[in-house]
Amino acid sequence: MRVLLLLLALLPQDAPAPLRLGREEFARRRALLLERIPDGALALDAGPLGEVGADANTPIFDFKYLSGVHDPDGVLVIAGGKLVVFAAVDAAPGADAVRPVADWPAWAAEHLAGKKVYTKLRRKNLDVLAEAPNVEVVGQRLSAELVRLRLIKGEVELRLMRKAADATNRAHVAAMRALKPGMNEREIHELVVGTFKKEGCPELGFPPIVGSGKNGTVLHYMKNNEEIPAGTLMVCDIGAAIENYVTDITRTLPTSGKFTDEQRVHYECVLGAQKAAEEQLKPGATFWDLEKAAREVFEKRGLTKWSYAHSKDGGVRHGLGHYVGLAVHDSGTYREKFLPGMVITIEPGWYDKDAGYGIRIEDTYVVTADGFERLSAGAPREVDEIEKLMAGKREF
């Protein structure tokens, strides 16, 4: 028997699919883009990346989406089916050739002369095209097609996003187990970041939001440096990333381990609104369909004053959800009908400045052919699940 087991162990095993973006993935993207714009050359530049934040850099990632690299001075051209990157890098997985940025003007004059060129370029690079003979510049369409292309995630992208979601789910569970009154918000912040790294996701999708008490009523609170009070709630809005692919998951926790009756009423309303929106999530629906269903829950329960969509008297307003991908608030218009492969969040909230606490429940979803897959299912969201886990009575 031991010999048999040894022989079985030595047989070739199916290796798991690699969590990386290889040349074949960039070739797939390029082919899809050229199907959409088949009648000319394409040119776009990178631009500088700003600080990592909730709304930073969404359009900038178009360059990396096609090339696999970023250079703030870089230019990318697709002509004759080939992708050439002009950048201060040695290689780019999406490119057929990499050349110094200084070569760009002479190359454009030689290879783009007399062509129609669809562009997404800053002024200095548009001026380079203006110097090339008989170039017809076409604006806007390239940007629009890249937005539509990035909306539908491919198999490799979804593997990366599932990995980021799994790491984020585990970070939420770790926070639930660790949270106690008197801790500093920074301790939970560091626990979250450490869990991301332990789970193989060294990048942050955005700076963690760990807002206890009144800090949970601030939408993008990121100081994370105050003592956590007893008897209140803490909003933990976090997202790991890998190869730039992000997730975005929020849970709200009772700082003393149990929700008060009032907190439970408000929390169950937010969760009910999220579940009502989920029921609408399928191909052909829109964000407005989800928004309408969520709002009706707050209205029917008479809890509109501090809701995310009805806030008055200084309350917080925000959208019900957003696209997720290379950026946490990723490219996409909110008029689009959902299609399989789109990734979105649903995140209703309640920001009660009278009671001094906020509630947000946010999950990340992949739209499927017949509904959705909830990538954040590994992070408990039911009241009883959270309380049992925080009391050490349940394993996840």
Range of weakest confidence among 39-53, 76-90, 127-141, 376-390: 39-53
pLDDT level of residue 313 (50, 70, 90 thresholds): low
Question: What domains can be seen in the chain, in order of their start residue?
Answer: 23-150 (3.40.350.10), 155-390 (3.90.230.10)
* Residue 65 backbone zone (phi > 0: left; psi -120 to 50: alpha; other: beta): alpha
Does this model's pTM top 0.85? My answer is yes
What does the block give as tokens for 315? Answer: 């309350």
Residue 168 phi/psi, 5° resolution?
-70, -40
* Angstrom distance (rounded) from CA 77 to CA 361: 42
Tokens (6 digits) for 32: 């899809």
Provide the pLDDT for residue 58.
63
The pLDDT value recorded for residue 1 is 38
Least confident of 49-53, 125-129, 160-164, 332-336: 49-53
Q: What pLDDT was estimated at residue 14?
A: 40
pLDDT one-digit tens code per residue, 43-66: 999 977 655 555 555 667 899 999
CA 308 to chain centre: 20
- Rounded Cα distance between 80 and 310, Å, is 52
pLDDT for the residue 304: 94
Share of the chain above pLDDT 90, in %: 82
User: Lowest-pLDDT range, 20-29, 314-323, 342-351, 352-361?
Assistant: 314-323
Which long-range contacts link 308-311 to residues 24+ away (Cβ below 8 Å)? Answer: 308/347, 308/348, 308/349, 308/350, 308/351, 308/360, 309/348, 311/351
Cβ neighbours for 278, distance < 8 A, ≥ 6 positions apart: 346, 365, 372, 374
CA proximity to 332, closest of 139, 62, 68? 62
Whether residue 16 is predicted with pLDDT greater than 70 in this model: the reply is: no
Q: What is the mean pLDDT of residues 330-354?
A: 94
Average pLDDT, the chain: 91
CA angle 127-331-84, nearest 5°? 45
